[in-house]
Every structure is written in C-alpha cells, then in structure tokens.
Amino acid sequence: MHQPVLLHEVMEVLQPRQGMFYIDGTIGSGGHASSIIEQIAPKGTLLGIDRDPSSVSSAKEYISHVVAEQELDVAVTIREGNFGGLAQIISEYGERKADVLLIDLGFSSDQLISGKGFSFRKDEPLIMRYDGDAGKETAAQVVNGYPEAKLAEVLKEYGGERSARRIARSIVRTRRKNRIRTTGELVEVINEALSGMYRPKLHPATRTFQALRILVNRELENLEQLLNDIPNIVAPGGRVAIISFHSLEDRLVKQRFKALASTAGAVLLTKKPITPSEGEVKRNPRSRSAKLRAITLKPSAKGGKT
Ligand SMILES: C[S@@+](CC[C@H](N)C(=O)[O-])C[C@H]1O[C@@H](n2cnc3c(N)ncnc32)[C@H](O)[C@@H]1O
C-alpha cells in the first residue's frame, strides 16, 4: 500500500487540532488523512478530493474503517475532484474555508499498479491520466500525434530530458510504421534511442514518462490555479502544506508562497524545503525527491480564524 511521505513533518507544519476543517486536495489512499483526522476529532471536518475515481474509492473505504475503529467524531466527505477547482468545490460545499490544506502532488504507488500506464516496468495501454476520462488527451495520443519538434519540447521542458530530440526522432520513426500503443512499446523505442548512452542512475524512460504524465494531466496548470486560489480556499490564520516531487512544481510553490508572504502578510513555515530523512528514503525510496513547503496565512484582524 502507498506509504504517506514526510508524514511526521506534515503533522508538525500543519498542526491539526480539534474541530478544524481539513481539506486534503490529493487524498490518494488516505495515508496522510488517516493520521490527520485523529487530531481534528472530535468535531473536525475532512473534505478529501482526488482526480482518480479508484483513489476516491480506496480512500473512502480506508477512512471509514479508521473512523469506525477509533470511533472518531469527524464529518467526512470524500469525492472526485481536481484541486485546480477547489475554490469552486468548497463554495458548493458550504462556504467554510479550510484551517489546514494538504496537497501531496504526483501519483501514488497504488496507481503504479492501476493499469493506466504510469509505470515503465509494466506493459500497459499508454493512458497516464489520473481520471482516465474518455475523450481527453492520453499519452498514446501525444506520442502518436504530436509533431516531432513539439514532442521534443515537451520531453525537455516537463521531463528535463537531455536527449529529448533523439527520443522524439525515434518515436516519429517508429510510429510511421506502427502506432505506439503500450508502455512496453514506448520503453523499447526509448531504449533503442538511448542505447550506448551512459545513464548510471535513472531508468532511460523515467524522464519521458514524467513529461507525458505532467502534460496529459495538465499538472502544472492545476497547481498554478490552486496556488492562485489559496486565499479563497484557506481561512485567515490557516495553514497550507504542499509536497512536490520535481523542480518545476517546487519552483511554482516557492514563488507563490514568497509572493503571499510579501504581499499578503503570510508567514513561511519552511524557509527551505523539508526533505525526507535517510531512514525514510531507505524505507520508502519513492520519497527521495519529495520537498515539503508550508505557509500560514495572515490571521484576521480579530485574531480569529474566520
Ligand atoms: C501522492 S498521491 C497522494 C497520497 C496521499 N497523500 C496518501 O497518503 O495516501 C497523489 C494523488 O493526487 C491525485 N491527483 C493528482 N493530480 C490531482 C489533481 N489535479 N486534483 C486532485 N487529485 C490529483 C492522484 O490521483 C493521486 O491519488
């Protein structure tokens, strides 16, 4: 099962307390949420959203089990949704703003076995969408449809792939003969394109897969929208914690938090990003690139939360 990343550190920066309204914008398997709800009980409220319907079902099941087992007095709503639309979601939900907001970006280890093509170690259809919505852009459409130059640009920009042009050329050469349908076929093309190149640490497909996932899910656009909407989502004096997994995301978070601190009186709770301990990276290698940043909004003039 997915292990929550930087859990102890998230609890420290968010400081969830009895009665608080906690929004989890990426509830995933409910790992962080299961610990946080213990702190907001009694009379706390959790609104958990996720773009992936299967994450929503597993979080619902797990959280209701935790609530029942520990007899927690917490109002729980877990539903499908995009954190890029959180401001709208909470306005439908009752206008109350969050005391604590957690966003844990990227995908969960459970999604690696979801059959949606997130893993380059499996041979699955090239979808890579969290929501899997029919009719929306999939990784297969990008790989088989984008012009070579645009493909190279995507791999470079979103994946930081230094051999982007070489991979893009190889993809276009292959798809002229046969459509690239699966993750296995794509990995083969990448392996061929990079054969003989020295890559000591990373699987050759790592950066290409990252780039495609970021693109088809519009990950950076959603994050930007969320960051801009923070004052509409989080109450005065409320806290926000964001865990990111690559530099493009971390840069957006850093810049927006800085702007909120200088223009809106928010206070940075992390001057530098918090990263996992050696012990955590050993236990959960997936955590190695995680960076946690947190901020607290300016309290209202009365000193209350709303
Ligand atoms: C790293 S996992 C979260 C794990 C969770 N904190 C836990 O402990 O179980 C990230 C989750 O965010 C979801 N996600 C990605 N982009 C999203 C978006 N724009 N809106 C809502 N959920 C999103 C993914 O579907 C995935 O389930």
- Across the chain, mean pLDDT equals 94
Q: Whose CA is nearest to atom 7 of ligand 1?
A: 31
Sequence-distant (≥ 6) Cβ neighbours of residue 263 within 8 angstroms = none
Q: Percent of the chain scored above 70 by pLDDT?
A: 96
For the stretch 23-44, pLDDT in tens is 999 999 999 999 999 999 999 9
Q: Whose CA is nearest to atom 27 of ligand 1?
A: 28
Distance from Cα 192 to the centre of ligand 1, integer Å: 33
Distance from Cα 39 to the centre of ligand 1, integer Å: 21
Distance from Cα 12 to the centre of ligand 1, integer Å: 21
Instruction: Report which of residues 247 and 95 the model is more confident about.
Output: 247
Mean pLDDT, to the nearest integer, of 219-248? Answer: 97
H/E segment holding residue 234:
strand 234-244
Q: Please identify, in words, the CATH class of the domain defined by 7-110+219-296.
A: alpha beta
For the stretch 63-84, pLDDT in tens is 999 999 999 999 999 999 999 9
Distance from Cα 22 to the centre of ligand 1, integer Å: 16
For the stretch 103-150, pLDDT in tens is 999 888 888 877 889 999 999 999 999 987 667 899 999 999 999 999
Sign of CA dihedral 235, 2, 54, 138: positive
For the stretch 210-219, pLDDT in tens is 999 999 999 9
Q: Domain segments of the chain: what residues?
A: 7-110+219-296, 132-216
pTM to 2 decimals?
0.95
Q: For residue 301, is pLDDT > 90?
A: no
For the stretch 185-197, pLDDT in tens is 999 999 999 988 7
**Which ligand 1 atom sits nearest the alpha carbon of residue 245?**
1
For the stretch 160-182, pLDDT in tens is 999 999 999 999 999 999 999 99
**Span 132-216 CATH architecture:** Orthogonal Bundle (1.10)
Rounded to the nearest angstrom, the gap between the alpha carbon of residue 32 and the centroid of all alpha carbons in its chain is 13
Within the chain, residue ranges assigned H as helices are 7-14, 31-40, 53-69, 86-93, 109-112, 139-145, 148-159, 164-177, 183-193, 206-216, 219-233, 247-264, 278-283
pLDDT value, residue 173: 97
**Which ligand 1 atom sits nearest the alpha carbon of residue 223?**
19
Distance from Cα 50 to the centre of ligand 1, integer Å: 6
pLDDT value, residue 306: 46
Question: Which of 11, 29, 58, 108 is the best mutation target for the ligand 1 pocket, counting ligand atoms within 8 Å of the beta carbon and taking the most?
Answer: 108
Question: Which of 26, 27, 62, 88 is the best mutation target for the ligand 1 pocket, counting ligand atoms within 8 Å of the beta carbon and taking the most?
Answer: 26
Q: For residue 17, is pLDDT > 90?
A: yes
| Helix/strand number for the chain, H first, E second | 13, 7
Name residues contacting ligand 1 (CB within 6 A).
2, 4, 25-26, 28-32, 49-52, 55, 82-84, 104, 106-108, 130, 217, 222
Structure tokens at 126: 């090239």
**Which ligand 1 atom sits nearest the alpha carbon of residue 2?**
9
Sequence-distant (≥ 6) Cβ neighbours of residue 134 within 8 angstroms = none
Distance from Cα 110 to the centre of ligand 1, integer Å: 11
pLDDT value, residue 295: 98
